[in-house]
Amino acid sequence: MTLPLPIDPDFRKTCVGFWLDDVEDRLKINRLDDAEISWKEANSLYLTLPPGFGDLELEDRLYQMRVKLDKSSHITNENNL
C-alpha cells in the first residue's frame, strides 16, 4: 500500500475485508501468486490494529483464506509432478 491509511481502526478493518475479498476473487480465477500478495496485505494491515480493536470475524476470514491458499498451492504443486 503506497499511501498511508488513516489510523481509524474501523477503516482499517474495512480495508482488510476488501483485501480478503480480493483474495477470494483471485483464487476463483486461479491467480495464486496475486492472491498470496493480497493475503499478505490483509494480514499485515490487520496486525497494525491497535490493541483492543481486534475482530474475531476478520481473524477467521484471514485463517480461512490462508487455508485455501495453502490447499490451492499444494494442489497446483501436485499437478506439476
pLDDT at 58: 96
pLDDT at 19: 97
For the chain, the distance separating the N- and C-terminal CA atoms, rounded to the nearest angstrom, is: 35
Which of the 8 DSSP states describes residue 49? S
Confidence band of 26 (pLDDT split at 50, 70, 90): very high
pLDDT digits (tens, 9 = 90+) for 34-72: 999 999 999 999 999 999 999 999 999 999 999 999 988
Integer Cα distance of 24 and 39 in angstroms: 9
Which of the 8 DSSP states describes residue 41? H
Integer Cα distance of 46 and 56 in angstroms: 11
